[in-house]
Amino acid sequence: MNAEDITLENRRSLYRYIREHPGLHLRGISRDLDMNIGTLRHHIKFLERNRIVVSKKDGNLKVFFAARKLNADDKRISLLLQQKRLRNIILVIIITPGLTHGEISEKLSIKPSTLSKYVKILHEKKVLYFEKNRNEKRYFVRSEKEIVELLMTYKKSFWDSFVDNMLEIYFEQ
């Protein structure tokens, strides 16, 4: 195999990986593909320059997506779904809409103060909304069908039996 074939194969596997795992950052991709960071940067730069892959800044990280594969909302949501705690909160609320803060905390065994931080992020990112009933808030997921579709499409990228179990429950309802 010559150098050009290796380069092409690296780019193909990199593109496939990014397409199947949207919203991952450079080091995560490097680790998962067992590819040197320098080599990875070189190929990503090529893929971005040719508009095959696009990147987005997420805090201090630069994350990658296949171009024309996800719309802006899908990209925003897939970034959140890559984080296990956020994903689990979303899944629990999809399965049981209208849960209170305490109920979510109990179901996921998350301290209420920690849960507050995550719920705030999801609310600010417009993934969750709440309805106030007397002194308690009941939480719901916006764009439930789109989120379930993302979870089904990119299920491989989560490597999480919790996702499989929750999707199974969702489709049984």
> What pLDDT digit, counting tens, does each position of 89-125 carry?
999 999 999 999 999 999 999 999 999 999 999 999 9
Is the per-residue pLDDT at 61 higher than 50?
Answer: yes
Q: Helix, strand or coil for residue 172?
A: helix
Is the per-residue pLDDT at 44 higher than 80?
Answer: yes
Looking at residues 12-38, what average pLDDT do you find?
89
Is the per-residue pLDDT at 146 higher than 90?
Answer: no
Looking at residues 48-67, what average pLDDT do you find?
86
Structural domains of the chain, with CATH: 3-69 (1.10.10.10), 76-172 (1.10.10.10)
The CB density around residue 159, as the number of other CB atoms within 10 Å, is 9
What pLDDT is stored for residue 3 in this prediction? 47
Is the per-residue pLDDT at 40 higher than 80?
Answer: yes
Considering only CA atoms, which of 79, 77, 6, 82 is closest in space to residue 43? Answer: 6
What pLDDT is stored for residue 157 in this prediction? 64
Measured over the CA atoms of residue 130, residue 132, residue 135 and residue 140, the dihedral's sign is negative
- What's the gap between Cα 47 and its chain centre? 21
Q: Which long-range contacts (CB under 8 A, 24 or more apart) does 67-74 make?
A: 69/19, 69/22, 70/22, 73/143, 73/146, 74/22, 74/146, 74/150
Lowest mean pLDDT among 77-81, 111-115, 161-165: 161-165
**Predicted confidence band of residue 2 (pLDDT cuts 50, 70, 90):** very low
Is the per-residue pLDDT at 8 higher than 80?
Answer: no
Per DSSP, helices labelled H in the chain are 3-20, 26-33, 37-49, 72-81, 84-95, 101-108, 112-124, 144-153, 161-172
Average pLDDT of the chain is 85
What pLDDT is stored for residue 7 in this prediction? 66
**Predicted confidence band of residue 172 (pLDDT cuts 50, 70, 90):** low
Q: Which two tokens stand for residue 133?
A: 């009933």
Quote the pTM value. 0.65
Looking at residues 135-163, what average pLDDT do you find?
80
| Helix 84-95 vs helix 144-153: crossing angle, to nearest 10 | 130
